[in-house]
Amino acid sequence: RRLTTALPAHRRPLRVCLAAMAAFGAYTAGWAAAVRLRGRPLPERPEPRDVLLTSVATFRLSRLISKASVTSPLRAPFTTYVGPQGPAELHEEARPETGRDTVGELMTCPFCMSVWVASTLTAGQLLWPRATRAVMGTRVAASVRRAGRQDHRQRTADHRSYVKLLLQTRAK
């Protein structure tokens, strides 16, 4: 019996998905072993500032890895370029070859990538807290800068629309 989904239009090789899950399990087990070997104690509970920092850094890094044009060479073996998808972002699709499609889906999906990034950042905080927080801080700073830039663009567009509407109203 072949291990695939039942929907004929969306047949997917579940063995490849199981392999991806096993790879993630091995990845996190490797980090856990590294933390244990280094003798790092696990915190009683995460600090709220670390949770916030990790959340924003995970969002930004996941987006950088899965969508940014500058990281497209990392995704190229597993994806096909479709076109631009916003400022400095690309729309790419997973290559249909067996095995590569699963990796391609992971590499083009910020949500999927976020699980791997969050695990890596969490392990980094346990093994190299200062360096990891420095890296996360740069991603958060870039997010704040980007949000400010988008807010400025939106205000400029809103202002232009308002002026255009005002001029049209006066012309009548």
Average pLDDT value for the chain: 82
Length of the chain, in residues:
172
Q: How confident is the model at residue 166 (pLDDT cuts 50, 70, 90)?
A: low
CA 166 to chain centre: 41
The token duo for 87 is: 């400022």
- Count CB-CB contacts under 10 A for residue 143: 15
How far is residue 127's CA from residue 101's CA, in Å, rounded to a whole number? 33
Sign of the four-CA dihedral 125, 142, 108, 58: positive
Rounded (5°) CA angle 70-73-77: 150
The highest-confidence range among 5-9, 41-45, 54-58, 149-153, by mean pLDDT, is 54-58
**How many C-beta neighbours within 10 Å does residue 80 have?**
13
Which amino acid does the sequence have at 104? Answer: G
Residue in this structure with the two tokens 């830039």, named with its chain if needed:
149
Least confident of 42-46, 111-115, 140-144: 140-144
Of 118, 90, 117, 113, nearest to 102 (Cα)?
113
SS3 56: helix
Average pLDDT over residues 100-116: 89
Residue 57 has pLDDT above 50, yes or no: yes
Tell me what pLDDT residue 155 has: 53
Q: Residue 135 is which amino acid?
A: V
Q: How far apart are CA 120 and CA 28, in angstroms?
A: 8
